[in-house]
Amino acid sequence: MLKRAISIVVTVSLLTGLMISAAWAQPEQRAESKPPLETTAEAAFLMDYHSGLVIFSKNPDKPLPMASVTKLMTMLLACEAEAKGQVKLSDIVTASEYAAGMGGSQIYLEPGEELTFEELLISIATGSANDASVAVGEHLAGSTEAFVQMMNERAKELGCKNTNFVNPTGLPAENHYTSARDMALVMREALKYPLFRKISSIYEYDLRGGDFKLWNTNKLLKWYQGCDAGKTGWTNEAKYCLAASAERDKLRLISVVLGTEEPRSHFRETMKLFNYGFARYQAVVLAEQGEKIQSVEVDKAMADTVDVVPAKRISVVVPRGQDKGIKGEVQLLPTLVAPIEKGQVVGTYLVTQEGDELLRVDLVAATDVGKASPFQLMGKVINEVFTMDK
């Protein structure tokens, strides 16, 4: 009898202990499964502009309508064409009847009305003008259909896997969609162009000599410190959308939110993403693109040396406070022999932290270096001899 009683007590004690252990373990498991950031957006994406580091995502590859955020690709193609010299900002664009007939947000182009290419670009960036978007597309490609083909081809080149454009405006159309990740890639490419940064940051603009006032639909230009680029979008189908970029302390972030419900919720959710990124991460910049790293001797050259610069910004993004032990190492080719072309790779800049590789960036020649003729080489040798004698 006594043995049976002891057995019951032991059993009860063990069961009680297991229940207490489970009770303690359960909240901890819930804490681990909780996402680090909550957003009401149907899809969201936050990344570092320079490194491409993904800081946060929610349904990043879900195909969704994006309304006027579409115009990021329209502006990207326009900026690329201007940079290649295929079009000038001063070019006169004549509005077609089709462009003038666009509904939604517009600058009310009249058929045959003439504006400069720059004025139309600013109208797209600030006023989200659908008629200006079509006019720009027609000017660049000859027709809207040809321009849409350019948009889709460029999306594929950028690695967009869940994007298909049907028009350059974002007006509702079947089979017109993107993903938060894909639109971040488009935004990242657009930010490479000073023209895009310029027009995207304009908050107000007087069109037609001041007869028509444009206000930027991206209110974060005024509401959020460091925000200097972006594109909003809204339709009943897409709801509220925003792709934006902000920079603080040399950390530039790109945020995309798609499908937020209430008015201004796309601004609120974007600020939430930006706050999360800036609070938790920092940029460690070792050198800017084009910044002189050192001068290197060049054999058989007209010039004795050439400056070596990074092909892109040398920076890494790390969690705040975890920047200790980050070092840079210059690794150059053993010898450089003329001729050298500007932009030619001459070495590597290696970034490590506690011995672990974080980043490799090409080092390139800052200028052309011509090959010296035999007479020039002979003159240099003679000059060196006389210099040594002195």
Active site residues: 68, 71, 128
The token pair that represents 386 in the structure block = 């006389």
CA distance 86 to 120: 16
CA distance 172 to 177: 10
Strands 54-58 and 204-207: unpaired
Measured CA angle at 69 (ends 161, 103), to 5 deg: 125
Query: Which residues sit opposite 327 in a β-bridge?
Result: 352
The token pair that represents 141 in the structure block = 């490609």
245 with 260: CB under 8 angstroms? no
The token pair that represents 238 in the structure block = 């897409």
Strands 345-353 and 305-310: unpaired
188 with 254: CB under 8 angstroms? yes
284 with 320: CB under 8 angstroms? no
